[in-house]
């Protein structure tokens, strides 16, 4: 009888593995086709053309000298970001531009799949784990727009694709490598591996200032854990380099050339610094809790599954589950109170005294108290969980999510690209929490574990298909309109006129050409080498 049970278990395992890998293959092919089709015809937006025409040559053609000059200009005069250098490099190949943009997203999906897979324990279920993590990795970029309405505007803005998506891929490589070395206790690090992570972390630090901030948080968390684990001198050298280069990038001259003072109507200029920060905190929390409920609820469910499984298997102490439930109660209370605050807080038409009355009302202060209590309880749990190598990945990504929100909070940005890093890392922490709980669930109850993961992956697939089905016709319509414009531009002669629409049909995918369009049209003229006699006009 035992032999029959063993045989059935083996057959069930290989059946699950086969279905998991087949499903992953379908996801890989389907999502790859989506990215190729949506990038078939890239649409040039204002910043894209700015970087493409920096060389002064038609069609973005450039050389090493021009690229180097552009990089030095960025680091010392503009914004201290190397992302624009890479944008110019990609834009210099007009023929393969769409291919490169699609390749960035395929690379992003591959890195996410590896990131998830490497975070889970390897056992007899490794093929099931491989198929499952690949499915999650491939679908996550398509699922993210469900939680962030501005995501596709980031995805299909080529400069942002290079700046945010490619940069995110690189930092995941650094995080995953440093985490894996620590977890696997590998002290014999070769010079090749050390050079790789040192070079990649340097690229990340200068690519975008928020990425440098995230690397500093990474160093803080891993440094805290490493004091207990004592991973070896080479690991400390690498970790030190990541922290050092991330700090040094903030001293590049270009970093502060772009610094702007934002004047917000809700801030009292006469108030103390503490009062102003409290105003910013309540302002940010109210909007965040009111407009990100789906992501917060999904994260809460995933973390509950995570704590339940890990306390059940005695990997974490039982009181952590109780602390988590208290954290959820605080979060639910904060969301409820945030919804009671008036939406007029974000319209921008109130007087200062009206803003202050709302921000320092009993409801607002109680909301902030519940939210901070909930966050504190969750942080205490995750700080302690970080010292257990089986749960380090969840603690790490949650900490990076918090770091990703620091700049938007400081500048009081409530939506759009500034929140991309924070929201995406919050989603990753939820996925990893679920996967960690699932990997333990399968040990004693494989059938129930497979049911749980099937439900989760099916949910992701449904959301991904919905988002793809929604955005595909919009993207194709914008591409068609843009192709017509480019065809007119390419054949425009002296004395003729090309009228540009003020915006494409679906503005949420491609933002307006900017201001009155004069700068955009001049860059377009430079890029396509349009004769001066051909008149370019922005219509209504």
331 vs 359: which has the higher pLDDT: 331
Share the mean pLDDT of the chain: 87
Whether the per-residue pLDDT at 5 is higher than 50: the answer is: no
pLDDT digit string, tens, across residues 142-160: 999 999 988 998 999 999 9
d(CA 333, CA 123): 41
Contact criterion met (CB below 8 Å) for 304 and 381: no
Return the pLDDT at 1: 42
Parse the chain into domains and list their residue ranges. 288-490, 492-539
Give the range among 16-30, 46-60, 339-353, 399-413 with minimum mean pLDDT.
339-353
Contact criterion met (CB below 8 Å) for 319 and 380: no
d(CA 70, CA 209): 18
pLDDT digit string, tens, across residues 329-353: 999 999 999 999 888 887 767 788 8
Whether the per-residue pLDDT at 272 is higher than 90: the answer is: no
Mean pLDDT, range 109-136, rounded to an integer: 88
Sequence-distant (≥ 6) Cβ neighbours of residue 434 within 8 angstroms: 302, 305, 306, 456
Give the range among 7-16, 288-297, 378-387, 480-489 with minimum mean pLDDT.
7-16
- Report the interhelical angle of 362-386 vs 273-291 (nearest 10°): 80
Contact criterion met (CB below 8 Å) for 462 and 142: no
Return the pLDDT at 257: 66
Contact criterion met (CB below 8 Å) for 468 and 34: yes
Number of helices and strands in the chain (H, E): 22, 2
Mean pLDDT, range 167-184, rounded to an integer: 92
Q: How far is CA 511 from CA 17, 54, 156, 157, 470, in A?
A: 44, 21, 10, 8, 18
Sequence-distant (≥ 6) Cβ neighbours of residue 361 within 8 angstroms: 341
Mean pLDDT, range 217-230, rounded to an integer: 90
Return the pLDDT at 388: 86
537 backbone dihedrals φ, ψ, rounded to 5°: -135, 140
Q: How far is CA 48 from CA 42, 59, 468, 498, in A?
A: 10, 12, 24, 20
Whether the per-residue pLDDT at 540 is higher than 70: the answer is: no
Q: How far is CA 192 from CA 189, 235, 529, in A?
A: 8, 13, 45
Q: pTM here?
A: 0.93
Return the pLDDT at 376: 95
299 vs 276: which has the higher pLDDT: 299
Q: What one-character-per-residue DSSP string does 400-426 give? A: HHHHHTHHHHHHT--SSGGGHHHHHHH
Mean pLDDT, range 32-44, rounded to an integer: 93
435 backbone dihedrals φ, ψ, rounded to 5°: -65, -40
Whether the per-residue pLDDT at 432 is higher than 90: the answer is: yes
d(CA 159, CA 164): 8
367 pLDDT band, cuts 50/70/90, is very high
381 pLDDT band, cuts 50/70/90, is very high
Mean pLDDT, range 301-314, rounded to an integer: 92
């Amino acid at each position: 009888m035992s032999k029959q049970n063993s045989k059935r278990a083996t057959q069930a395992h290989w059946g699950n593995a086969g279905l998991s890998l087949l499903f992953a293959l379908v996801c890989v092919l389907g999502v790859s086709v989506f990215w190729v089709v949506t990038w078939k015809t890239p649409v040039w937006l204002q910043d894209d053309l700015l970087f493409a025409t920096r060389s002064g040559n038609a069609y973005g053609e450039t050389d090493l000298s021009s690229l180097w000059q552009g990089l030095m200009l960025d680091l010392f005069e503009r914004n201290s970001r190397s992302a624009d250098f890479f944008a110019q490099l990609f834009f210099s190949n007009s023929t393969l531009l769409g291919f490169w943009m699609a390749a960035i997203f395929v690379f992003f999906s591959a890195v996410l799949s590896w990131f998830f897979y490497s975070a889970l324990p390897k056992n007899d279920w490794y093929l099931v784990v491989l198929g499952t993590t690949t499915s999650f990795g491939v679908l996550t970029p398509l699922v993210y727009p469900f939680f962030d309405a501005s995501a596709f505007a980031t995805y299909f803005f080529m400069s942002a694709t290079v700046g945010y998506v490619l940069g995110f891929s690189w930092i995941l490589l650094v995080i995953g490598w440093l985490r894996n070395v620590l977890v696997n206790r590998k002290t014999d690090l070769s010079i090749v591996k050390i050079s790789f992570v040192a070079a990649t972390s340097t690229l990340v630090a200068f690519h975008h200032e928020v990425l440098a901030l995230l690397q500093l948080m990474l160093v803080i968390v891993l440094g805290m854990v490493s004091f207990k684990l004592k991973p070896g001198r080479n690991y400390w050298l690498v970790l030190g380099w990541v922290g050092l280069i991330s700090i040094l990038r903030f001293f590049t001259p270009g970093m502060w050339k772009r610094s702007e003072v934002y004047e917000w109507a809700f801030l009292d200029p006469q108030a103390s610094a503490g009062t102003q920060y409290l105003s910013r905190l309540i302002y940010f929390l109210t909007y965040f809790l009111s407009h990100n409920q789906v992501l917060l609820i999904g994260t809460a469910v995933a973390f509950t599954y995570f704590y339940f499984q890990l306390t059940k298997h005695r990997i974490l102490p039982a009181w952590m589950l109780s602390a988590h439930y208290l954290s959820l109660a605080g979060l639910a209370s904060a969301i409820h109170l945030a919804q009671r605050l008036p939406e007029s807080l974000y319209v921008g038409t109130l007087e200062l005294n009206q803003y202050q009355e709302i921000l320092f009302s009993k409801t607002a202060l109680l909301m902030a108290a519940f939210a901070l209590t909930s966050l504190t309880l969750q942080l205490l749990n995750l700080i302690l969980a970080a010292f257990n190598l089986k749960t380090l990945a969840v603690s790490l990504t949650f900490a990076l999510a918090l770091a990703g929100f620091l700049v938007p909070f400081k500048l009081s940005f409530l939506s759009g690209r500034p929140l991309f890093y924070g929201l995406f890392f919050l989603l990753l922490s939820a996925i990893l929490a679920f996967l960690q709980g699932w990997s333990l669930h399968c040990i004693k109850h494989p059938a129930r574990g497979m049911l749980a993961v099937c439900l989760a992956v099916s949910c992701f697939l449904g959301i991904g298909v919905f988002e793809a089905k929604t955005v595909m016709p919009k993207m194709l319509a914008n591409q068609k309109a843009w192709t017509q414009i480019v065809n007119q531009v390419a054949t425009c002669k002296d004395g003729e006129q090309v009228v540009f629409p003020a915006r494409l049909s679906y503005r949420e995918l491609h933002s307006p050409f900017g201001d009155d369009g004069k700068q955009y049209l001049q860059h377009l003229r430079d890029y396509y080498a349009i004769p001066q006699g051909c008149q370019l006009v922005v219509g209504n």
